[in-house]
Amino acid sequence: MVTEDQVREALRGVLDPELQRNLVELGMIRDIHVEDRQVRFTLALTTLACPLKDQLVAQARAAVLALDGVNEVQVDLAEMTAEEKQRLGLGGPEQPGAAEQWNDIRHVIAVISGKGGVGKSLVSSLLAVALRRQGQQVGVLDADITGPSIPKMFGLKEPPRMSPIGIGPAWTKSGIAVMSINLLLPQEDEAVIWRGPLISGVIKQFWGDVFWGRLDWLIVDLPPGTSDASLTVMQSLPLSGVLLVSSPQDLAGMVVRKAAQMARHLAVPILGLVENMSYFVCPDTGQKFEIFGPSHAEEMARRLGVPFLGRLPIEPQIARLCDVGAIEDYPAEEFAPIAQRLRQVAPPARKSSI
């Protein structure tokens, strides 16, 4: 007959992919019961909204089922106490940043895809430009710490200035506030080779230690994937919602659905879906060509139950303007209605605390 010690030892082979320690060492395994060929235990997660929950449960079940004499495994879920989280370095109450009490930010929108190369940074920049043209006060928080591109698009190179309140963001020529790790590096092409906790810490500093002042919209440009940076933004920032970005390829759509699932796990509203690189307009004939295949964006939006906000074309002029730091010179006529629609579907503005 299998013993509790054997079950516990089997579970030592299951690692938490974020904390890189096994479940037993982390104190996540509780209340092991063995009866006949059935095993039941409790898995205590750092949060019940953990996007890796299903993965951890599946791996824990598989580890115990691999023991001789076990036919059935039941895993109950629980959440760690604040004290337990604190012992792991995850819990304690976070102190507000130096500038946080002086900031008045009405809407916080994260731009997410889950896949690289679909144009999240471009959509973030164009959204900021479109909202600014509509008379809104706008900022862009570049949360892509290891692959920042926002400063390059806006032609920003000078390091931010310090103020008595906090770090001052850089300002574009049209009056958009920007904060990015690239503004703090000695050279813009210097690599940032950091592990997750450092990346998460910088994102929190960009929120709390930067003196954004009064903004109608803060656009958060997320990196690809659904790991540390995205998790930090969704759990630590008061998001109004997320904007999904896709492209016509089926692969991109599949990964975007993962990002949508993450947002729902963490109870973050999905405000809509934008399809980038949807088509190319031949300048000689005006004919549209769907270079990456037919669009499935509206169908995907229906399946996800979110608003479809619009399509963006492949436009060579955008690449040229981004390369010279002049994204604000792009007319962005296709993006104006997308920005207007986003304003309509966004939740009410946060009340000022100042």
Structural domains in the chain?
4-87 (3.30.300.130), 100-345 (3.40.50.300)
Query: Using CA atoms, how far apart are residues 298 and 304, in angstroms rounded to an integer?
Result: 10
For residue 213, report the phi and psi dihedrals to the nearest 5 degrees: 75, -140
Neighbours of 56 (CB within 10 A): 20
- Per-residue confidence at 54, pLDDT binned at 50, 70, 90? confident
Percentage of the chain surpassing pLDDT 70? 94
Query: Using CA atoms, how far apart are residues 200 and 42, in angstroms rounded to an integer?
Result: 29
Q: Is the dihedral of CA 285, 291, 296, 300 positive or negative?
A: negative
Query: Using CA atoms, how far apart are residues 177 and 164, in angstroms rounded to an integer?
Result: 18
Tokens standing for residue 346: 């966004």
- Is it the case that residue 226 has pLDDT exceeding 80? no
Query: Using CA atoms, how far apart are residues 265 and 261, in angstroms rounded to an integer?
Result: 6
Q: What are 249-297's pLDDT values in tens digits?
A: 766 667 788 888 888 888 899 999 999 888 888 888 888 888 888 888 8
- Is it the case that residue 91 has pLDDT exceeding 60? no
Percentage of the chain surpassing pLDDT 90? 50
